[in-house]
Amino acid sequence: MKLPKILLAAGLAALALPAVASADSIVYIDQGNVWSSSPDGARKVQLTTGGGWHSPTQADDGTVAAVQGTGPIVVMAPDGRPLHTITTPMARSGDGGTFAARPVELSFSPDGSKLAYAYLAYSCPPASSCGSIQRSTFYTAADVTEATPVDVYGNQFSVSDPEWVSNSRTLVFGGFGSQVSIDDLGPGDYSQKPWMVPNGDMGDGEVTRDGKRLAVTFDYGANKKLAFFAVKGDVKTEFPPAYPDAACSTTGGDERLSDPSWSPDGSGLAYESSAGIETTRFTQLGADVCATGDDHVLTASGSEPDWGPADPPAAAYVPPAPQVPATPPAGAAPAAGPASPTATPRATARFGTVQATAKALKKGMAVKVTVSAAGKVSVTATLRGKALATGHATAKRAGSVTVKLPKIKKSLKGKRLTLKLSFKGASMSKTVTVH
């Protein structure tokens, strides 16, 4: 989509701008793999291999998450080094069926503590026509291996394409009469509240970090456009804020328009189009006012851009090559010398059976864990991502060790706690219900 397709306010001309600075990065999909690039395209780094990747997203510190195939979610360092995976559960769909565990449309909270994701499925219930799409949005802590249980944040039926407004609020899209909605994280299904209910459907979109500008997709197929708005009120606190002022929209339809993503300073925009991934920069955006600089094609074969404040990595992570011992010549005696050092086995730790009761928590609950070697162990109990208590112990040898949590006076009966175990760089999580 080139500049002439952006509607400009009467009497305004697009102002010339320097190239977008490379002090931040755009992660995206190109030919089936995750890439990270400076916005001007001067530095591009391929983070994954194998193909089939989709739904890339990044936190402010550059941590990346994406999905290969049907899952699980893979969380990786900025250079693509795998950190851990998150397995998501099957979940109920709006038509009474069940979603398969196939996460899409990932979105990292700015602080990197949480991930939003969506499930999409075509529905064909009995005695009805086929072809409708069931969709739901879910949330999970980002440092777990099993996704946060659905009942912690609820099943947000009929909406998808989540994008964060703050670390505890998202924009979600879809559903007749609630095309652009706001969702505050917390328990309960259908907790989103409509913000914009236009005459035609709006798809995915995003607000700038200062909450002043909104970009969304509008309409379908060959008529699909990008629409821009000047936000009124405080989109981070008001539930919902006032209806925003229309600024402008693209004039030519493009069925591939999707995934608009604002630069950290709110002036630049990356989006997918039939030309690939394009970036542009606004010099003005207000009620009935838009002016932009030149568009730039980042990559003609890319999709799903997500713009963040972290630099692109200097290079991609390269796994160490396996050590292959040399084979001596046939009949030769092995050379004498010091014994070869053995590789240090990777530390492992796992939970034993956990009996979580309100009474035990108030007295200081004991948690049994099994470790692979001597060392320090810690267990933290969290509720909806907030740490409640952390206990420590030292294992004198491999085997079982008991970690006692400090007393938790608050009654937690019926709540779901996440226990996080750390031992010599190894970690795992376990979700328990307090009885």
Stronger pLDDT, 51 or 197, i.e. the higher one: 51
Q: Please report which confidence band the pLDDT of residue 124 belongs to, taking 50, 70 and 90 as the band edges.
A: low
Q: 414 vs 170, which has greater pLDDT? A: 170
- Rounded CA gap, 265 and 355, in Å? 48
Whether pTM exceeds 0.85: no
Q: Tokens 């899409």: give the residue.
A: 104
Domains defined for the chain, CATH in brackets: 3-308 (2.120.10.30), 349-433 (2.60.40)
Q: How many CB atoms lie within 10 A of CB 157?
A: 19
Q: Is the pLDDT of residue 234 over 60?
A: yes
- pLDDT, residue 280, reads 96
Q: How many CA atoms lie within 13 A of 194 on its CB side?
A: 12
Cα dist. 400→72, 80, 233, 349, 422 in Å?
30, 34, 56, 10, 14
Do residues 307 and 26 lie in contact, with contact meaning Cβ atoms separated by under 8 Å? yes
Helix H or strand E segment including 101: none
Cα distances (Å, whole numbers) of residue 308 to 24, 32, 261 = 6, 21, 9
pLDDT(403) > 60: yes
Query: Who wins on pLDDT, 247 or 221?
Result: 247
Q: Which of 161, 258, 10 is nearest to 269 (CA)?
A: 258
Q: Is 211 helix (H, G, I), strand (E, B) or coil?
A: coil
Count helices and strands in the chain by DSSP H and E runs: 2, 34
Q: What pLDDT does residue 149 have?
A: 94
CB atoms inside a 10 Å sphere around CB 345:
8
* Helix, strand, or coil (residue 174): coil
* Structure confidence at residue 18 as a pLDDT band (50, 70, 90): very low
Question: Which of the pair, 148 or 221, is modelled with greater confidence?
Answer: 148
pLDDT tens string 155-202 = 999 999 999 999 999 999 986 666 899 999 998 898 899 999 776 688
Structure tokens at 281: 């920069």
Convert the pLDDT of each residue in 91-112 to its tens digit.
Answer: 988 878 889 999 999 999 999 9
Is cis: bond before 126, omega within 30 of 0?
no
Amino acid at the residue 94: G
The confidence band for 10, taking pLDDT boundaries of 50, 70 and 90, is very low
